[in-house]
Each structure stands twice: as C-alpha cells, then as structure tokens.
Chain A
C-alpha cells in the first residue's frame, strides 16, 4: 500500500518528465483486491512449502496442558492433543485496543483490519505514534484520503528523535494532519454513520471533537500469550509486557520450551530477525550448529512517505553510552536528482552517521531519510557489521548519480557548526 501511495507521487511527477497526464483518482477496491490476492498466494505458498518439507500443519488454536503437551481446538470446537520433545512459541502479537475509551472497540479498527478492507476507509483518524501509525497514515494520505494522526507524546519512540521529527515534518508537508499532545476520550457513531471522536489536550485542558469515517488504533501491540495457559507448562512472562522471558539461546524458563519473534521479551519486532532466530534455533536443536542469534546492529526501515532507514545507535543512545565529547556526528541535507525535474521539496532528505570521535572513528549508527532508504541501508548495515570506520566509508567511491553516494560523501560534522546542505554535484 506504501508502493501504491508512492505510485501516486510518481503520477504527479510524470507530467514534469513529459508524460501528458491529468490528475487521476485512486480506487481503493482495485488496490485492496490486488494486495489481498498476493497475500493469499503467499499464504498458499507457505502451506505448500510446509507440505514439501513434510511439516504437519494444524489449523487449530493451541494452549498448554503440561510442559510437553499442547491441546488444539479447531474452528468447529474439535480438540486435538499433541505432545513433543521441544516446543517453540512463536505466536507473535496483535494490535492493542485502548481499554478505557468509550466506543474504541466497537467503532475502531486496527492494522489487522485495514489491509483487508474492501472499501476505502475515507476520512481517517490514526491514533498512535508507532511506526505502524505513521506508515498507515502516510500511505492513506498518499492515496488521497484526508488523514489525521493523533499523538500523545513523541513520534517513533526508540528511534533517533531528530530523524523522527523530520519524518513527521515531511508527512505534514504532504498533507497529513497532526494533533499533538492529545488523547482521545470517546468515540460515538453519529446517525449518518460517521464517527465522532472527542479528545483532550491536557496542556490546555480543552476538549475538542472531530468526525471521521474510520478510526484506526495503532497504539502498540500485545503479545499473544494470555490464552496459551503458559502457567500449566511453567513458562514465565514479564509482568509488565506479558512477553515470554528468554535467554540468549531463546530458551524460556522451561529448558525444552523456546520463544522467538515478537512474543519474546526484549527482541526487536522485525520479520527478518524472527526468521533468522528461528532458523538458528532449529539448527541448534538438530545439533547442526552452535551459532547464537546476534541482536546487535539490526537494520530496519520505516516505510513512511519519505522512507527512514537506520542501523546501529541513535544519536541519543550513542551520547548516552559514550558521552557527547566522544561522539562525532557527520550529516548532510541532500537533494535526490529525480526531485529536481519533478520540482519536489527535499527539505527533509537528510543523512547522518554517528561515529566515535577517536580515530579511526568507528561507525556506531547510520540514519538515512529519503527515497529507497531500505535499499540504501542494507549494504551499509553490512559495513557496520564488518566494523566500518568513518575513514573506510569515506574511501568508498560513490555511484553517480544515486542518493546512496551521499553517505560516502559526508564531510560536515555537527560539531563544526558548518552548513550541512549539499550543493552542486
């Protein structure tokens, strides 16, 4: 859906590049059908792969009976008892609903519903500041919908905050509305079917209302652990997060029960880490290898309208760990070549590399805001894995003309106070 929104931007760019095109509307149903068909084909592909590899697949809801036994209940209510030597919990998480807001559950939806909507959500209020909230609000705006994001405190908690504010600044410039420092208090359905949302602005103490077609909760996710009867197996969870406590080998408090992915405490909630952790765990269980999953320097990308890719430490984290006097930050505002002809504003296209100050200036973190951030970040993540220093990155010759080459040309340090705007070629 992000791609659909990007294509909308390209449709707007196209006339600048000589394509004779009038403004075009977007049809949600066509997109949703195409996306859903692809997802269904993936579902099918997973089932076929399991079959190919002779994995028995049960479409049942499981819970523990004892430390070696699981009971599964099918849709029809039929129970199956299964026992195994090793058990791996990978139940993931589901979006959270607010508990004390009137009408939240009745009238709101979550990302679990959004991607399966057959009709356009229309004017939408997105509540939350997680990457899910910003990504959804970003593409909804990009598809031409009137979209508002309500944020209680800061956007993208845990990410570099300078980058986060550039992300939301760009979104605002593209038409996403932001209601900051506000919390919703109730959702009501009006006679015409629209939803009226009431919210509070604690700083002013004022109450305000607005009407929307859709209210999307994106305030976080909760691990799927409550219906597992973990206590029957003796598996411990965190009292605050409800996530399963694990050690470096993904083992829970019960030696033959393991947990991987979003359900495990302290793990990044990312698909590729879950896949790799799962693979490595299987290899260890089969005695094939003793490799342990390395959760350091995991790269990731937030697919907001202007994409944000990062790996390693945020500037705040680097300063907290090493002290400001030991950290050097190189940065640049750059303009992607394709933006020039399309007359796009590049005020938020920004890169920063967080390094140790002492030569050879080991790279601690890389943050890239711009088109194709995911593709740009992947290779540099490897560089950081290889222990890249600032000097080594500077010795890498650029690929001209790309956005990624700007990373290899970062010359201005924040400390110098010089203007970090890239001029010329």
Chain B
C-alpha cells in the first residue's frame, strides 16, 4: 500500500487542569479549524483499509489532502466522539471536501462517480453565492438572514405560484400572508364579536344589532400584511441578502435556474443550498374543485364576504377557519371524513369540536364531497355540493355560497428539479428526509420547515431550525434544533394549547399503568358575569409515575390558551414535575392558575365539574 502525498496533521494535547467541557470545546474548535482550513480533510485510521482506498482516490486525482490518523494522536477517541457530534457519523474515514461533510468511503466513491466530488473540489469562489435559499418563508428567511449576518453571500428565491382562483401575495411565506398572522387576526375579529355580547352584561349599553363588515376587516388585515412584506424586503436589503422574485429549480449540481413572472430565465450557482419551499393546500380531485372551491390561500384576501360556507376537512386549518367565519356571523358547516385534529389529543379535539357545535357551527360527519357544481355567478356565487357517506350509499346535496377546502397540504418539492441532483423525496408524501442536522442525502443541500419528513409544521420551529442551521454551516456551531416538547396552540373559538404528548401517544409510549392523568374543568372569572357555561374549559396533564411524576403532556382548552401554554412549555424544558406544579403559587384570578391546584386523577373517576371559586 503506497502512502498518499498528504501532509500529516498534528493535534497538540489539550492543556491540563481545565474542565472537561472546556477541553471538549477547544477540541471542537480545532477540528472545525481543520475542516474549514483544508480543501480536503480526511479523518482516518492508519490501519483502516477503507481509509486507504479514499486516500488512494484523492491521490489518483492529484488532490492534496490533509489527513488526521486517529490511532496516532493521544486523544483520538475524543476526536472521534466530537466528530460524531458534528457529523452524526462515528466511523472512519470521515471526509470533508471544501467544508462539506462528504461521509465515508462509499459515499465518496459514489460522489466521484456522479461527478459531485469534482464539483465540490472546485474552489468555493467558483460559485457566485455561498448560500442560495429557495423559498422566502419563515424558515428560509431566518436562515438567509443569519447566514448574511455571519458574513456570507446569500440569495433568496421566492415565488408565489397563484392559486387556481388567481390569488398571490408578497414575501414572507405562508405564516405571514396566508397562515398564522391573518388567521389570528380573523380569530380576534370573531372573539370581539363574542366580547361585544359579553359587554352588555358588563354594563356597556347599545341597543342596535351589530353587524360585521367583511371588507373593512380584509382591508385592515391586508394593510398589516403589506407592511410585514415590506419589512421583510427592507430587512433583507439591510443585511445585503440578494432577493429574487423568481421560481427556482435545480438544473445541475450547485446550479439553479430562476424564472421570473415574465418567463425570463437566469442561472445562479452556490456552494450550499437550503430548501424552504413549504407547502400549499391540497385539492380534492373531484369535478369542480379547482374551478369553484377556495382554500385558505384565497380566504384571507377574499374581496367579498364568503356568505354561507362549507368547510371541507378536519385539520386545524379547517376548524380555525370554520370557527372564525361562524364567529363573525356566517352560516358555517364543516364536513369531516373521519376524526377531528388528527395527531392531537382526541379528548381535547372532541371538546374543541363540541364547543364549536354549541356555538353555531354545524358538523357533517363521515361525509366526503364528490362534486361541486356552479349554479350562480356573483360575489359570492352559489355552489351545489354533492357529498357521499363514508359508511354507506347515502348521498346529500346542499347549496352554499362558498366551499373552502382544508383537507391537508402538499409539499412544494416535486417541481424544483430535485431529481436532477438526486435529492431524495418521499414519493408518497413529497416530504424530504433529513438527518438531525437538516441535511438531505446530497451533502451540500439542506432543508428546513414544513417540507421536512417527520418534523413539525410550525413557524417558530422553522425559524429556529433555519437560524441554527446557518450557525452550524457558517459559524462552527454545534447546536441542533430540538424538536421535542414543542408547544402549539389551535386558535379555534375556544383555544386549545398543548405541549408534549397526547394522552393516546403517552399510553403508546409509556403504557397506561405507568401514567397518571390529572384533569379538571374550570370556569374563567370573566365568563361568570357574562353568564357563559361553567363546565367547558378544561385542563389536563399527563405524568409519568416512574419518572418522578414528570409532566410529559400538557393540554388546556380555554381563552388565551396560547399565552398560558408558552410558560408551561418553558417549564417542561426544565423537567417540570407534578410536585413542582403543586408547590407553585397561582396568580389569582387567571385561568393558568388551575394547573397549580390539579388534584383529581382521571383514574379515580371523581367528578370534575365546577361549582365554587
């Protein structure tokens, strides 16, 4: 076996007398230094045949590489451990080419065959950009801005393909334009409707019937969104991120084609890519769906009041939209194929639904639409919907002004040329599998946000993942995005906040006999004078009896559930136990304080209805 023409790297042994973590941190910095300072960096063991093959390969390419033989340095074992933290790979050889983690022997040879290795070996300066982010939503923008702050040359491509109804919007992605922001504001409009009813009981005097004006609301909301779009553009400009309002698709390794609204094509290259294209609402695939139905992509900027509305679906989008439309006084029916809020705690989901039902939303369960027919034009028009039972031959027909589809979302991953560079996509879901550092199977391509397989579809997690990814890529950080105990809130008329496991999932993971569930109804003080129902709001925690009664699931149904849940999520990050809940003093009078006085277990079967203070 001939020795490759590599220089030998040396690591001086770390100083003595310092803490373990400090020594570890210093070692990590040195390794990052080796990775970033060398065109090719090979971590190897002198006797390993796979390492030898890789060294031979680079030697035959005439490429100089730096080699660290882990069996010939004092702290080889530590190096190996830190490397596995950085790369998620424990074995040698462990190869980096131009700062990109290549993998082991097999992946290096594969890359050589596919031409990727030769691409990577080109100097970074051969690319116009250090990073191109495809998709200007929460995750993409967070990643792009952080990379720019770290001094990198960054481009963001963002392009909104108009909906079948022709709706499109500005920079910022789903959350800002057709998601969290407008839905929370419409939810607020609906809550205000309820507050106006309460207000009379609290002494505010008005005799006339208060009507809601859709156009006023849409204008105010769209004005706010417009200011956010502008803010994003400004912020990109300030950080010197190049923003291109074009549709991006890969044409070859490291190269992307950007097509603008006029069909003009431009090509850009970059050392690294982040996919952050997000998702768009799905259609049913039945006659009339794309022609006559709208989705949440259209609803928030609809220029006219939707009138009598059928919402199809049982996702949180369906329930939130159905909820606020009913709240501003519209006749709303929600058609549900099977269960509400799949993936969420089902006891809570049913309670969310039954509150909506008591407050004027009609539910048609176990039905699916089979056809939508156009009866009348207008703003809104008239549509006939034919639906069929999922359990038998029964069909029903009904006339609505608007049909809103909220049956799920599809990842925008199929038309961005991923096949050209070999990025793996889950055929069925369209989602992209990544490792725990958000890296796809193609080493220089990463992904964040809703398109990730097996991760969460939430704005804050996309932002967190995007930011941390940029820091790992360009600042040598090791911090990974933590997808555990992520809190969320469904903004239905009665809000539902949760963190950790649903009761079903907890039973599946820990078995029922190892769990204790504490629960109670509660009556918000503000509801008493308003004369609202006293056994509707509900609190539940799930504890692991064999881990110090640690809280592994937190669920609250009531006003301001989002505001309540956030702090408890922070406490769960710190390992919250039932004892600590009991030892904490409540803030009186709030809804959140109910969690400090939970006494009744579900297994006891005791009455949890509320009577006193």
Contact = CB atoms under 8 A, between A and B. Distances in A.
Interface of A: 3-4, 7-8, 10-11, 13-22, 24-32, 34-35, 38, 42, 45-46, 48-49, 143, 270-273, 276, 294, 298-301, 309, 337-338, 340-341, 372, 374-383, 385-388, 392-393, 395-405, 407-408, 423-425
A140 B611 CA distance: 30
Contact of A400 (B175, B211, B529, B612): B175
B529 A379 contact: no
Nearest to A271: B588
Contact of A382 (B206, B460, B486, B571): B571
A405 B460 contact: yes
A377 B567 contact: yes
B591 A375 contact: yes
Most buried by B among A298, A379, A401: A379
B576 A26 contact: no
Given A396-B569, A404-B567, A26 B203 contact: yes
Q: Which of A7, A31, A46 has the most CB of B within 10 A?
A: A7
Contacts of B571: 379-380, 382-383, 385-386, 388
B193 interface: yes
Given A27-B203, A301-B587, A401 B196 contact: no
A48 B235 CA distance: 61
Contact of A399 (B193, B529, B569): B569
B574 interface: yes
B304 interface: no
A10 B224 CA distance: 19
A272 B192 contact: no
B461 A24 contact: no
A400 B213 CA distance: 26
A375 B206 contact: no
Please provide the 4 A-B residue pairs with the shortest distance between their CB atoms, ordered closest to farther.
A379-B567, A378-B592, A31-B203, A404-B566
A272 B588 contact: yes
B587 A402 contact: no
B491 to A, nearest CB: 9
Interface in B8-60: none
A419 to B, nearest CB: 13
25 contacts: A18-B328, A19-B211, A24-B199, A30-B200, A30-B205, A270-B585, A301-B587, A338-B184, A340-B224, A374-B592, A375-B590, A378-B564, A378-B568, A379-B570, A381-B585, A383-B576, A385-B583, A398-B566, A402-B562, A402-B566, A404-B566, A405-B460, A424-B231, A424-B232, A425-B175
A397 B588 CA distance: 26
Interface of B: 138, 172, 175-176, 180-181, 184-185, 188-189, 192-193, 195-196, 198-206, 208, 210-217, 220-221, 224, 228, 231-232, 235, 328, 458-461, 464, 482, 486-489, 497, 525-526, 528-529, 560, 562-571, 573-576, 580-581, 583-593, 595-596, 611-613
A403 B563 CA distance: 7
Nearest to B191: A10
A334 to B, nearest CB: 13
Contact of A386 (B208, B563, B576): B576
Nearest to A268: B585
B565 A143 contact: no
Contacts of B529: 3, 34-35, 38
Chain A binding site: helix, strand, loop or mixed by DSSP?
A: helix
A64 B267 CA distance: 92
A26 B563 contact: no
Contacts of A272: 585-588, 593, 596
Given A374-B590, A400-B459, A382 B584 contact: yes
Contacts of A398: 460, 566
A292 B25 CA distance: 43
A202 to B, nearest CB: 37
Contacts of A401: 180-181, 184
B211 to A, nearest CB: 5
Contacts of B593: 272, 378
A385 B577 CA distance: 11
| SS class, residues of chain B in contact with chain A | helix
Contact of A273 (B526, B573, B574, B585): B585
A386 B488 contact: no
A24 B565 CA distance: 34
Nearest to B499: A399
B563 to A, nearest CB: 4
B224 A341 contact: yes
Contacts of A25: 204-205
B487 A276 contact: no
Given A294-B583, A396-B573, 9 more contacts: A7-B199, A10-B195, A11-B196, A19-B196, A42-B613, A143-B203, A382-B576, A407-B567, A425-B176
B221 A341 contact: yes
Contacts of A376: 563-564, 566-567
A379 B587 CA distance: 10
A313 to B, nearest CB: 16
Given A11-B204, A26-B205, A400 B567 contact: no
A363 B192 CA distance: 36
Contacts of B583: 294, 385
Contact of A24 (B204, B460, B526): B204
Contact of B188 (A3, A46, A341, A405): A341
B205 A24 contact: yes
A25 B204 CA distance: 6
Nearest to A379: B567
Contacts of B210: 14, 19-21
Select the residue from A21, A34, A276, A398 with max chain B CB neighbours within 10 A. A398
Contact of B192 (A4, A14, A42): A14
A175 to B, nearest CB: 17
A322 B336 CA distance: 58
Given A27-B205, A397-B487, A392 B217 contact: no
B459 to A, nearest CB: 5
Contacts of B567: 376-383, 404, 407
Contacts of B235: 423-424
Nearest to B227: A340
Contacts of B458: 397, 400
Given A378-B564, A400-B460, A423 B231 contact: yes
A396 to B, nearest CB: 4
Contact of A7 (B195, B224, B590, B613): B195
